[in-house]
Amino acid sequence: MAAILLDPLAAIGRGTLGACRAIGDVALFAIEAVSHLVRPPFYGRLFWRAFVEVAWFSLPVVALTAVFTGMVLALQSYTGFARFNAQSAIASVVVISLVRELGPVLAALMVAGRIGASFAAEIGTMRVTDQIDALTTLSTNPMKYLVAPRLLAATIALPLLVLVADILGVMGGWLIGTLKLGFVSAAYLKSTFDFLETGDVISGLVKAAVFGFIIALMGTWCGYRSKGGAQGVGGATTKAVVASSILILALDYVLTEIFFAQ
Amino acid sequence: MSNGSDDRRAQAEPSTGGLSRSAMTNTPKIRMRGVRKAFGPKRVLDGVDLDVAAGQGMVILGGSGSGKSVTIKCILGLIEPEEGVIEIDGVDVLTLPRREREALGDRIGMLFQNGALFDSLPVWENVCFKLLAQNRITRAGARDRAVEVLAQVGLAETVGDLSPAELSGGMQKRVALARAIAARPDIIFFDEPTTGLDPIMGAVIDGLIVDCVTRLGATAVSITHDMASARRIGETAAMIHKGRIVWTGPAGNLGHSGNAMVDQFANGQREGPIQMELRR
Ligand SMILES: Nc1ncnc2c1ncn2[C@@H]1O[C@H](COP(=O)(O)OP(=O)(O)OP(=O)(O)O)[C@@H](O)[C@H]1O
Ligand SMILES: [Mg+2]
């Protein structure tokens, strides 16, 4: 503490260097993990286990988030748009904001909490109990065995989850639209699909894949580099969730800029 | 404990080929020279020199925290020393490309001090993990092999289906031991193989280690604090103190070796050249 007060410049410098080192380390870690995806042996069973964990067991959380978000969106835009007599735009507002933005981001944030934490805790525990070293002595590359299948699983699972979230979110909006706001069901659905473009859906799914990769990457990296017993694993878990959440929001901006800025 | 036909099969396996080669040329199986390693400001190894002859049982002794586990992890390539030479069969492993180093690791077994069993896998898969990883065995064959090895460490067949978390500490240790020897390695490291076992089981495990050395022709490096066990499993003993090997000699002489430090350690005396240091 005293050092920070006495020598702020040194502290800033140290922090910057530490951040640069971490970024470089994550990048190398990611490259190595991805390179294992194209070199045998492949661990299909581990991929499948991770995939079920990410896709299937995240489904309830993601589904609930999506339904309520769709409902809130419909309600909010109604109260706002009624001032301009623009209620007819509600269906398209709901679907476009969900598919482009809220579906991927909210699903990713929910999954970051579940999966990022569980990857970091599991791999972190294996690290501090020598299980990762044991893998090495048992002719198994821990990057290939632990990290690569999880990265692949999350990268594939997230777009699927987001697809479900999109559908359920639109359904939530439709429920509020027809039951509460007095839209005719067919007309609501028609204006939903009239304004939706394939590009909207694709961009959302690409975002989801990137977010999935980031969640698994931060989870596995934080776990892999953790040290110092239970406390270290706890710290790694927190770090994984915070880092992946922030990266999701930052990358969301970057990707939106790439997709939609003219 | 172990049945004879099994061991003959093991000897016919190509994995023990490296042994005869190094025995012929008389190169030590493991050779360490000037190995140094520090963690931050704390110097743990300060120039370790150690030779282990092929087919020998070597015991490493030393106080708690003196760097025994770190020494073994350096040989295994799990910890990268700052300086020094580590040779296995005359090949400098520290400068070896990663792939070749991994290939070398295929013939080495390790029992970790805390077991380090995979808790996501049942015991039998833990035991045969290496054989499965190297595709040397089918999954069905692995089960049978696991039962066989578990019997050698005194565990019943039913233990194979349990998860490691369901075992007692001593049972975990024995499963870890079974895992270390299941692939019939050429070199085996045992980090405190009998700690936490009752005296009878300890003697059984010692017998198993001796078996690995005498009948399978493996080279075994064991860390132990138990002098009776050290005399049983070791032909040679080495004592590490303050980051260096301070004594090497026949394990039978422990306690009356003529080296004051070793004798103090072996006889568990409070007075002597080794002062208990408070860790800073
Ligand atoms: N990964 C690590 N990071 C930092 N320090 C370490 C690490 N591993 C070991 N050490 C330090 O190195 C020293 C030697 O550790 P080591 O595990 O080799 O002891 P040991 O001789 O095996 O002791 P014991 O008989 O208690 O197992 C200890 O003081 C420990 O604090
Ligand atoms: Mg130790």
The reply to whether residue B105 touches residue A141, judged by beta carbons under 8 angstroms, is no
Q: Who has greater pLDDT, B14 or B33?
A: B33
Please report which helix (H) or strand (E) contains residue A128, including its range.
Answer: helix A117-128
Please state, in angstroms and rounded to a whole number, the distance separating the CA atoms of residues B275 and B200.
32
List the single residue in A with minimal CA-CA distance to B109: A137
Q: Is A185 helix (H, G, I), strand (E, B) or coil?
A: helix
Please state, in angstroms and rounded to a whole number, the distance separating the CA atoms of residues A132 and B131.
17
Chain A residues near residue B137 by CB distance under 8 angstroms: none
- Whether the predicted pLDDT of B7 surpasses 70: no
Task: From B28, B66, B65, B69, select the one nearest B50 (Cα to Cα).
Answer: B28
* Residue pair B97/B46 in contact by the 8 Å Cβ criterion: no
Q: Quick one: angle between helices A44-51 and A148-179, nearest 10?
A: 30
Q: Which amino acid is at B248?
A: T
Ligand 1 atom with least separation from CA of B113? 27
CA B103 to centroid of ligand 2, rounded, Å: 26
Two structure tokens written together for B118: 């995979």
Give the pLDDT score at B1. 38
A-B C-beta contacts closer than 8 Å:
47
Distance in Å, alpha carbon of A133 to nearest chain B alpha carbon: 7
List the single residue in B with minimal CA-CA distance to A42: B133
Two structure tokens written together for A52: 């079920």
Give the pLDDT score at B98. 84
What percentage of residues in chain B have a pLDDT greater than 90?
Answer: 44
- Give me the residue from B110, B117, B133 closest to A140, CB to CB: B133
CA A230 to centroid of ligand 2, rounded, Å: 19
- Whether the predicted pLDDT of B4 surpasses 50: no
**C-alpha pair distances (Å), A68 with each of A72, A82, A173, A179, B132:** 6, 21, 9, 15, 47
Please state, in angstroms and rounded to a whole number, the distance separating the CA atoms of residues A145 and B19.
30
* Residue pair B27/B90 in contact by the 8 Å Cβ criterion: yes
- Whether the predicted pLDDT of B262 surpasses 80: yes
Q: Who has greater pLDDT, B99 or B2?
A: B99
Q: In this structure, what are the phi and psi dihedrals at residue B62, rounded to the nearest 5 degrees?
A: 160, 160
Quickly count: other Cβ atoms within 10 Å of residue B221's Cβ: 26
Please state, in angstroms and rounded to a whole number, the distance separating the CA atoms of residues B218 and B205.
16
**C-alpha pair distances (Å), A36 with each of A46, A145, B175, B244:** 14, 9, 30, 39
CA B78 to centroid of ligand 1, rounded, Å: 13
Per mean pLDDT, which range of A33-47, A240-254, B11-25, B170-184 is the poorest? Answer: B11-25
Give the pLDDT score at B264. 86
Q: In this structure, what are the phi and psi dihedrals at residue B35, rounded to the nearest 5 degrees?
A: -80, 125
Starting from the CA of residue B112, give the closest ligand: 2
Give the pLDDT score at A237. 95
Chain B residues near residue A134 by CB distance under 8 angstroms: 110, 112, 116-118
The reply to whether residue B129 touches residue A140, judged by beta carbons under 8 angstroms, is yes
Please state, in angstroms and rounded to a whole number, the distance separating the CA atoms of residues A120 and A234.
9
User: What is B205-220 written as a DSSP string?
Assistant: HHHHHHHHHHTT--EE
Task: From B133, B172, B130, B121, select the one nearest A122 (Cα to Cα).
Answer: B121
Chosen from B76, B112, B190, B221 to mutate, greatest number of chain A CBs within 10 A: B112
Residue holding tokens 């400001």? B41
Q: Is B163 helix (H, G, I), strand (E, B) or coil?
A: coil
What lines the ligand 1 site, CB under 6 Å?
B 39, 44, 62, 64-70, 113
Please state, in angstroms and rounded to a whole number, the distance separating the CA atoms of residues A154 and A57.
12
Give the pLDDT score at A85. 76
Please state, in angstroms and rounded to a whole number, the distance separating the CA atoms of residues B78 and A133.
7
Please state, in angstroms and rounded to a whole number, the distance separating the CA atoms of residues B164 and B267.
36
Residue with CA nearest ligand 1 atom 26? B64
Please state, in angstroms and rounded to a whole number, the distance separating the CA atoms of residues A15 and B96.
35
* Residue pair A214/A221 in contact by the 8 Å Cβ criterion: no
- Pseudo-torsion of CA B180, B184, B185, B186, nearest 10°? 140
The reply to whether residue A136 touches residue B134, judged by beta carbons under 8 angstroms, is no
The reply to whether residue B77 touches residue A136, judged by beta carbons under 8 angstroms, is yes
What's the mean pLDDT when you consider all of chain B?
85
Q: Which amino acid is at B9?
A: R
Task: From B174, B162, B171, select the one nearest B123 (Cα to Cα).
Answer: B162
Chosen from B129, B136, B186 to mutate, greatest number of chain A CBs within 10 A: B129
B97: Cβ contacts below 8 Å, ≥ 6 apart: none
Burial of B85 by CB count in 10 Å (0-12 exposed, 13-18 middle, 19+ buried)? middle
- Whether the predicted pLDDT of B156 surpasses 80: yes
Q: Is B33 helix (H, G, I), strand (E, B) or coil?
A: strand
CATH class, range B27-107+185-280: alpha beta
Residue with CA nearest ligand 1 atom 18? B67
Q: What is the pLDDT of residues B204-227, one digit of tens each?
A: 888 888 887 887 789 999 999 888
With bands split at pLDDT 50, 70 and 90, how would you rate the model's confidence at B252? confident
Q: How far apart are the first and last CA of chain A?
A: 48
Sequence-ordered strand ranges (E) for A28-140 = none
The reply to whether residue A131 touches residue B102, judged by beta carbons under 8 angstroms, is no
Q: Quick one: angle between helices A148-179 and A90-97, nearest 10?
A: 170
Two structure tokens written together for B125: 């898969």
* Residue pair B230/B263 in contact by the 8 Å Cβ criterion: no
Q: In this structure, what are the phi and psi dihedrals at residue B208, rounded to the nearest 5 degrees?
A: -65, -40
Give the pLDDT score at A52. 96
Residue with CA nearest ligand 1 atom 16? B67
User: Which regions in chain A score pLDDT beneath 70?
Assistant: 1-6, 262
Chosen from A138, A144, A145, A233 to mutate, greatest number of chain B CBs within 10 A: A138
Q: What is the pLDDT of residues B129-143, one digit of tens each?
A: 999 988 888 999 999
Write down the domain spans for chain B. Answer: 27-107+185-280, 123-184
Q: Is B110 helix (H, G, I), strand (E, B) or coil?
A: strand
- Whether the predicted pLDDT of B11 surpasses 70: no
Give the pLDDT score at B191. 93
Give the pLDDT score at A80. 83
List the single residue in A with minimal CA-CA distance to B184: A138
Please state, in angstroms and rounded to a whole number, the distance separating the CA atoms of residues B246 and B178.
32
